[in-house]
Structure 1
Amino acid sequence: MRLEDALFNWLQIRLVADARQEDKAARDTLAFFEEILRDDHGLTSFEIEKSDETMLHVRYMKEGRSLLKLVPREAGEQLLHDINATPKYNEA
């Protein structure tokens, strides 16, 4: 998986896991993508640095360099919106 794809997938599931803290599947999937970012791509840290009206700012460290990836907010939040819009994922 390309770094850009792994970062995007991590971002989406991070937003889901943050919003749905009781969701074990989301936490497990988040851990999976964190492992890919560390083991396959050599990232030493990655975080959502900030968000504004249009973009999500993902800061990550690779080979001692701090890098920033901007992701359109709508795209980054799409998975969370899709999950929240699906009744079977929102039953108590």
Structure 2
Amino acid sequence: MQSLQDALYNWLTIKVVCDARPDDAAAIETREFFEEILSTQHHVSNIEITQDDVMYYVSYQQGDGTKKVRYPRELIEIMINQINQEPEKYRDYPMD
């Protein structure tokens, strides 16, 4: 089982990609995969994201409580930055 911290990190990273590439089926499927992990393995719901110049802040419901974590933007945006720097390597696979 993937740790909650890792699952949130991976989900947020691919969510940033999905937000920038809303027609990319591979990115959407990957985001949905991590959403399933968060929901079924970690019982996470009601995820909300905010950000500032330095960090992403993620709050979520787990059990009876609301929890918060934060991630540096440079770590979360590494994948979308790579895609933007070398778009020829990352084709956009639209949904059929």
TM-score by length of 2: 0.87
Secondary structure of the 1:22 match is coil
**Post-superposition shift, 1:85?**
1.9
Contact 1:15/1:80 (CA < 8 Å) preserved in 2?
yes
Give the match for residue 57 of structure 2: 57
Instruction: List gaps (5 residues or longer) in structure 1.
Output: none
Q: Please state whether the residue corresponding to 1:58 is helix, strand or coil.
A: strand
Superposed CA offset, 1:30-85 (max 9, x none): 0000000000001122131x110100011111012111111001111111111222
Partner of 1:18: 19
Runs (4+) of structure 1 exceeding 4 A deviation are none
Structure ranking higher on relative contact order (CA contacts 8 Å, 6+ apart):
2
Superposition CA RMSD, Å: 1.3
Distance 1:77 1:83 in 2: 10
Aligned AA (2:14): I
User: May I ask how many residue pairs the two structures share in their alignment?
Assistant: 90
Q: What is the TM-score when the length of structure 1 is the normalising length?
A: 0.91
Q: Which residue of 2 aligns with 1:37?
A: 38
Q: Tell me how far apart the structure 2 counterparts of residues 65 and 35 of structure 1 sit (CA, whole Å).
A: 20
Gaps of 5+ in 2: none
Determine the C-alpha separation between the residues in 2 that align with 1:47 and 1:18. 14
